[in-house]
């Protein structure tokens, strides 16, 4: 398995304040990684730097061995998807249109309506079980359905690396579980590399194989969930006392 993402001494400033300080990490192909940390620790900035959405950075970020700056936009988009924290729900497009937007990296400017694009969209919608919603307006759907639409968009993008910023925030529990299950499937069956930010430590512990814990712009610790999610670390990073139990698979879960 090759290295998907490599970061070396990444530093990002916002008006003189350092948001990320000398972060180095590497993510292999097929890994399922979660990034945890309190608000302001730099999680979103880290993901935006890794997806090329922030230019003003010091240090190196590379994808599959090449610095991301050297990729052309559309090229990069064929490899990497990004699902932001609050996808827009009030835009007037149909579900089918939104998923089709995921094909943009493959569609040349003067050519449209190719069969392969239509098929990719169909496949993605089937996979996410939203094919019956094709002609509906995005605004009519529930929160969970909207997230599924945008994940379908990422699927249609046929990228091998998915970055997600809090994909389960504000969703009902059934949707939360469903989305993690889907991501698990992408990871296990389709070998996609998945990196997600979440506030839900239990979900991260249950589903992901590596946890990166950020504190004040630096990597506090990273490793398997059972190592990282400990009472000392939680006290250090989140300044709170918690009780931790372990389930049958030796995965930690936090009791409040």
Partner 1 sequence: MKTSKRLITGLFLLCLLLFFSFVFSVSVGAVSVEFSHTVKILMNRVFNTGISNIDAVQGDIILRIRVPRVFLGMMVGASLSIAGLVFQALLRNPLADPYTLGVSAGASFGAGLAIFLSYVVGAFMKNFLPVFAFFGGIATVFIVYLLARTRGRIQVLTIILSGVVVSYLFSSGLVLIMALLGDRAHEVIFWLLGSLSGYHKWLPHAAGISIAIICFTFFFFQDLDLMALGDDQAKALGVNTEFVRILLFSTTSLVTAIAVALTGTIGFVGLIVPHSMRLVFGPRHKVLIPASAIAGASFLPLSDALARTLPGLIFGSSMEIPVGAVTSLFGSPFFLFLLMRGKKKYWF
Task: Give contact residues for partner 1 (rule: CB under 8 A).
Answer: 48, 51-53, 55-56, 73-78, 80-82, 84, 87-88, 90-94, 96-97, 100-102, 104-105, 107, 109-110, 112-113, 118, 137, 139-140, 157
When the beta carbons of 142 and 240 are compared against partner 1, the nearer one is 142
| Shortest distance (Å) from residue 250 CB to partner 1 | 36
User: Residue 46 or residue 219: which is nearer to partner 1 going by CB?
Assistant: 46
Q: Could you give the CA distance from residue 118 to residue 116 in angstroms, rounded to a whole number?
A: 5
Closest separation between CB of residue 51 and partner 1, Å?
Answer: 6
Q: Least distance in Å: CB of 117 to partner 1?
A: 9
Q: Which of 165, 52, 155, 162 is nearest to 102 (CA)?
A: 155
Looking at the Cβ atoms of 85 and 191, the one nearer to partner 1 is: 85
State the nearest-atom distance from the C-beta of 180 to partner 1, in Å: 21
Say if residues 3 and 181 touch (Cβ distance below 8 Å). no
Decide if 83 contacts 150 (C-beta within 8 A). yes
The least CB distance from residue 231 to partner 1, in Å, is 36
Is the Cβ of residue 118 or residue 185 nearer to partner 1 in the bound state?
Answer: 118
CA atoms within 13 A on the CB side of 198: 26
Nearest to partner 1 of 101, 231 (CB atom): 101
């Amino acid at each position: 398995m090759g290295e998907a993402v490599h970061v070396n001494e990444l530093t990002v400033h916002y008006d003189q304040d350092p948001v990320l300080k000398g972060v180095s990490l590497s993510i292999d192909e097929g890994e399922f990684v979660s990034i945890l940390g309190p608000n302001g620790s730099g999680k979103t900035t880290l993901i935006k730097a890794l997806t090329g959405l922030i230019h003003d950075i010091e240090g190196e970020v590379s994808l599959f061995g090449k610095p991301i700056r050297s990729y052309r936009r559309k090229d990069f988009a064929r490899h990497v998807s990004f699902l932001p924290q609050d996808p827009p729900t009030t835009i007037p497009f149909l579900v089918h249109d939104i998923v089709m937007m995921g094909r943009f990296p493959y569609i040349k400017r003067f050519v449209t309506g190719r069969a392969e694009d239509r098929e990719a969209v169909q496949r993605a919608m089937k996979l996410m079980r939203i094919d019956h919603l094709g002609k509906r307006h995005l605004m009519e759907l529930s929160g969970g359905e909207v997230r599924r639409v945008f994940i379908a968009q990422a699927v249609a993008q046929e990228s091998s690396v998915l970055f997600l910023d809090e994909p389960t925030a504000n969703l009902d529990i059934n949707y939360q579980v469903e989305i993690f299950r889907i991501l698990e499937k992408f990871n296990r069956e389709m070998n996609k590399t998945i990196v997600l930010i979440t506030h839900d430590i239990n979900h991260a512990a249950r589903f992901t194989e590596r946890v990166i814990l950020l504190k004040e712009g630096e990597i506090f610790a990273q490793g398997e969930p059972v190592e990282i999610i400990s009472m000392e670390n939680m006290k250090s990073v989140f300044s709170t006392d918690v009780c931790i139990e372990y389930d049958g698979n030796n995965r930690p879960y936090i009791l409040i």
